[in-house]
Amino acid sequence: MGSEETDTVAQEIMTVLDNLILAEKRARLQVSALEERQYALATTFRMVKEMEVDNAIEEALAGFGFGYYTIDDDAELWISEEHGLMVFLSFTAPDGRYYNYRIVAFDVVGEDGEEGA
């Protein structure tokens, strides 16, 4: 796959994830406002919003042909050999800094060490 096509896919993924992150932040503000008045409703609303975000991420990445891998309880990894991209979600760096996501480009290398296998 060409570099331009990979860049286009990465850009589209970033747009989707950025929009979902903004929607999640808005939902957290709404939950905070609701919690003071109606805790049960706020809890239900939070659960529904989390499910919507999870489904939207899965739909977007699976739509681009990414496969899902669990790293641990806090992180997910999506890989597309076709696009040569990996997407880390909920990535925490060793120094404790938290990232909502990371997109990494890679080359597919075969068993014999040849690129593009």
Res 84: pLDDT = 92
80-105 pLDDT, tens digit each? 999 999 999 887 677 777 778 899 99
Give the integer Cα–Cα distance in Å for 25 and 17: 12
Res 112: pLDDT = 66
Q: Which two tokens stand for residue 5?
A: 């096509």
Q: Which of 81, 79, 69 is nearest to 107 (CA)?
A: 81
In this prediction the pTM is: 0.75
The mean predicted confidence, pLDDT, of the chain is 84
∠ CA 41-43-47, rounded to 5°: 115
DSSP assignment letter at 38: -
Give the integer Cα–Cα distance in Å for 113 and 117: 8
